[in-house]
Structure 1
């Protein structure tokens, strides 16, 4: 709920603290007078510009993702993230912190983490459609619409665990909101991820240099503490293949409609545990 996470949020306009005000509907107020209404589904938009960027996931993409993840196809990835997050939380200096998911989508991975980590969770995503589902994914999740490329509406050193799963990465802001004793868990696809579907449908391939580029991206602010590969082969129906294509960036190319049959799909990702420099 928003009230559970408000202490770690900040105004996107002036960076001052926010409080919950309930006299005429639920909204967040800052000391400079900026106000943000909490939507009926339970999320709040803290986009500084007021409008959602064109890259936000659509309602259709979010629905496809919810259906695919709900079927358990990525449970192995979620379990790995939850294990790493639990280890990171155990090593944190104190309990006065939150778990922050940057690019949280439907809240699927964050909810799995909160089942293991007894702290509030902030689900940040630029899509209001994703935030609507994330707000209901777990009782301790507060969902916020925000842009990863802008300054995050989160107070400095708020998080002891920061998740970033298949999502845009902003190392400067990630370092600012993470506690010195905290850990960031970044999950990215490997070059052979979904290789069968890439060959069959001409989907976007993963750059072979992705591991090197990730290390370079974080080098000034984080150190790679450990790496954890996760690989499996799924057997999917045609509908499931269509959902898998339709829930990600390939959906912008409308290739999900071209699915002809089911088949095998290699799921290959790597989770990086990063410690702040």
Structure 2
């Protein structure tokens, strides 16, 4: 992993002496006790990073396997035998770990701005490392080093995707497809994650990438009240629980449940190649 990284101060290559990273010019970054290395220089604005509560909800929900079809579709979309897989906005590292499980020779690099998520990502897979970084800033990753860049429900920095990918590398962008969590969206008034998404995705990536394929997977999930709370509070809606009565509606729905609720999960994975 260290060979693909660059110092976030001077952009020099890193060595990996002991428990951390050090560049040839003497800039050093210690690894946190949980295993990740934070290369950020400034604090993250409030409401930007996933909170401890969001990460706990996501860990529990993903551990139940409801998004396993998406993880499988991502792994199926990886061509050849990759060497380095970079997960941009990796969260807990769940999807990166599933891809690495499929390719025994691959190593992984998880980038995320949330310390709570990085604590999970650092332990998600023995062949993955985790780095604290803001995806909107130029990444501390060398040019043309990644065979695959994953981007799952995360910010999209097209210029950095293009820069770090190998010439024949692939960018895999995953997001919600039409109808995703539709039963909850209509009842609770969740954020509309799909509205205009495909058009914006094309506009964001169009000058740097060419679309190769787009695949979808849709399933029905039977969720308990606790799992309904987890799926709502593990993502951006968690930042809005105290606005417009969302928290109250969620509490009323889960309190009224006597069994499970059938909820649609629907995702798309778009594969892109670098434009010249």
TM over 0.5: yes
1:37 to 21, 27, 30: 30
1:21 to 5, 9, 17: 17
2:195 paired with 1:208: yes
Aligned to 1:172: 159
Q: Deviations over 1:28-67 (max 9, x none)?
A: 11122221110111100011x2323321001110010000
C-alpha displacement at 1:108, in angstroms? 0.5
Q: What is the CA–CA distance in structure 1 between the aligned matches of 2:159 and 2:195, rounded to whole Å?
A: 25
Q: C-alpha displacement at 1:258, in angstroms?
A: 4.8
The SS at the match of 1:72 is coil
C-alpha offsets along residues 144-188 of structure 1, whole Å, 9 cap, x if unaligned? 111111111111111001100111110000100000111010001
Does the CA-based 8 Å contact 2:180-2:264 persist in structure 1? yes
Kept after mapping to 2: 8 A contact 1:241/1:259: no
User: Offset at 1:16?
Assistant: 1.0
Give the SS at the match of 1:69: helix
Q: What is the correspondence of 1:186-265 to structure 2 with a 5 Å cutoff?
A: 186-254=173-241, 255=247, 256-260=250-254, 261=257, 262-265=260-263
Which residue does 2:55 correspond to in 1? 62
1:159–1:203 CA distance, 2 compared to 1 (3 A): same
Alignment gaps of 5+ in structure 2: 242-246
Check the 8 A contact 1:191/1:205 in 2, yes or no. no
- Matched residue of 1:115: which SS? helix
Q: Is the 8 A contact 2:176 2:194 kept in 1?
A: no
Q: Determine if contact 1:191/1:206 at 8 Å carries over to the other structure.
A: no
Q: Decide whether the 8 Å contact of 2:209 with 2:274 is kept in 1.
A: yes
Matched, 1:89 2:80: yes
Q: CA deviation at 1:13?
A: 1.6
The 10-residue stretch of structure 1 (230-239 or 251-260) with the greater mean CA deviation from structure 2: 251-260
Length-normalised TM-score, structure 1: 0.91
Question: How many matched pairs?
Answer: 262
SS of the residue 1:225 aligns to: strand
For 2:95 and 2:5, how far apart are their aligned partners in 1? 21
Tell me how far apart the structure 1 counterparts of residues 239 and 223 of structure 2 sit (CA, whole Å): 21
TM-score with structure 2 length normalisation? Answer: 0.91
Listed one character per residue, the Cα deviations across residues 239-269 of structure 1 (whole Å, up to 9, x for unaligned) are 0000000100001122354542341211111
2:71 to 70, 78, 87: 78
Distance 1:232 1:34 in 2: 48
2:88 corresponds to: 102
**Which residue does 2:2 correspond to in 1?**
6
